[in-house]
């Protein structure tokens, strides 16, 4: 992977795959299978947010001198996504299929919009702004992803 954009876009896909797998189990009322899939999805998306919030965004903000703008908006959206994830988890624990699927639909729309903004605007900006320290950024994100 040659760019931050490529690396994080691929990670979006990884998270999306877990999301779809969990939802497929809920649709079939396969609760014992749905719960670990959802847990895996939630962990993957939290890990993704951690790479952005602990590494990418601070690096971008330091280089640009601004904590406002796109990183502030993305953090806000991350918090909204976390709230929806909690509602999904609550619905899952109650085996409330309709509630889960309603929250899942909301999350799906929000993630699509969020990921488009990151992939088409923020990530290309970070590739440009962080070019000189990209290797360090990539190493730090990979350490979060691998848990090392």
* Residue ranges per structural domain of the chain: 4-146
pTM above threshold 0.85: yes
Let me know: does 60 contact 129? Beta carbons within 8 Å.
yes
The length of the chain, given as a count of residues: 148
- Please say whether the structural domain 4-146 has been given the CATH code 2.40.128.630: no
Residue tagged 């909301």 (tokens): 106
CA R_g for the chain: 16
Give the whole-angstrom CA distance, residue 14 versus residue 30: 22
pLDDT digits (tens, 9 = 90+) for 82-91: 999 999 999 9
pLDDT digits (tens, 9 = 90+) for 106-144: 999 999 999 999 999 999 999 999 999 999 999 999 999
pLDDT of residue 1: 57
- Please give the torsion angle defined by the CA atoms of residues 42, 45, 48 and 54, in that order, rounded to the nearest 10 degrees: -60
Give the whole-angstrom CA distance, residue 128 versus residue 96: 45
What whole-number percentage of the chain has pLDDT above 90? 93
């Amino acid at each position: 992977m040659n760019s931050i954009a490529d690396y994080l876009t691929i990670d979006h896909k990884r998270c999306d795959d877990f999301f779809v797998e969990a939802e497929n189990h809920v649709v079939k009322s396969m609760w014992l299978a749905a719960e670990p899939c959802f847990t895996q999805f939630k962990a993957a998306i939290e890990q993704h947010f951690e790479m952005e919030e602990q590494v990418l965004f601070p690096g971008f903000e330091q280089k640009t001198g601004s904590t406002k703008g796109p990183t502030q908006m993305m953090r806000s959206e991350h918090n909204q996504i976390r709230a929806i994830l909690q509602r999904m988890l609550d619905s899952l624990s109650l085996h409330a299929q309709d509630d889960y699927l309603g929250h899942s639909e909301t999350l799906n729309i929000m993630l699509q919009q969020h990921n488009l903004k990151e992939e088409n605007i923020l990530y290309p900006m970070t590739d440009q702004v962080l070019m000189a320290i990209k290797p360090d950024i990539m190493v730090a994100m990979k350490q979060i992803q691998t848990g090392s």
